[in-house]
Structures are given as C-alpha cells and as structure tokens.
Amino acid sequence: PVPWDGQTSGELQCAGNWIAATYYNDERASESFAADGWLRTGDVATMDSDCTYDPAGISEMLSLMTDEVDVVIASPYHPQGGVLNVPMHRLFLSKNLSRVYNWILGINLYTYTSLFRVYRNSVVKQVSFKASGFLSTAEILVDAIHQGFKIKEFPTQLCLRQYGDSKIKLAKVMM
C-alpha cells in the first residue's frame, strides 16, 4: 500500500505468463522481482477512475517503454485511435487545447489531456507542477517535454465515462 500523503508515488507491478525474466535489458533483473514473483517495473501508471480508457491498455503501453521513451500517453486522437460516445463539447475542448499546446511548444502531439499514462520513475521524481485536477495533466506533460523527456503516444479508444461525474471546471480551464 502507498500512503496517501501527496508525496509518495507507487510503482507499477506486473505478473503473468507473458512476463520475461528480464525487463528492457535491465541488468538488475533478479532484483526487479518481488519475493512473490511480481515484476517491480519502477514505472508509474496513471488513469482516470471513470473507465473512459480500458485499463488493459497498460500492458501495451508498457511494451512501448523503451530506452528512447520516458512517458507513454494514451491518445484517442492519434490516427489509429478512436472516440466512442463522447460529447462533442468535450472533444472540441480537448482537441483545441492540444492544438494550442502544439503551437506554443512547437511540437506535434495528438493529445495533452489524457490522464492514462505510464511514466518512468525518473520523470515522476523530476517533473513539478502546481495545478490540480484536469489542469495538472497538461502541466505535467509540458514540464516533462521542457526537461527533455521523450514522449510516445499510444493509439487507443476514449469512451463515454462509465462511472462518476466530471470534476472539470470549464471556466478555470478556459482562463
């Protein structure tokens, strides 16, 4: 268990028949396994609690974490991604925010607003942010980009919220 102190981050752990004895050429492979056989990746995964993204995508996202990638972000707006039953106003806001970030940063990502991500632990330790909630998702990614971390997008499907209600404050986002 991870303490809910706002400081301590957890760690993504995996188990299953598809887990190999090494992890991305990690020379410390034997040290990477817990006593119960779970692989301790050192990576950190985040996702919305409303199931707008399928949690099963984490394993595919992990496979994209190579030596050249520090953050994998789920991207429904990627040409191979998709959107299902999401309100038009939400798509309009998210896609246009991404366009603005691309223009300001001079790079080309399809989305900045997806919270469904996998980070190297080094990114989590070095990136700083002040915002909370929805605004922090883009702030974290922008700071990671400014610090030179490499981002890869994972094409996936964004679905209509399955649980809970939106906490986004539109007036705050638009200001």
pLDDT tens-digit profile of 109-120?
999 888 899 998
Residue 172: predicted pLDDT: 46
**Measuring CA to CA, which residue among 85, 120, 80, 77 is closest to residue 101?**
77
- Exposed (0-12), middle (13-18) or buried (19+): which is 159, by Cβ within 10 Å? middle
User: What are the pLDDT digits (tens) for 119-130?
Assistant: 988 898 888 888
Q: Is the pTM of this model over 0.85?
A: no
Tens digits of per-residue pLDDT, 49-107?
666 888 888 888 888 988 899 999 999 999 999 998 888 888 898 899 899 999 999 99
- How many CB atoms neighbour CB 58 within 10 A? 21
Residue type for position 115: L
**pLDDT at 47 exceeding the cut of 50:** yes
Residues contacting 11, CB < 8 A, separation 6+: 40, 41, 42, 43, 44, 121
Residue 134 identity: F
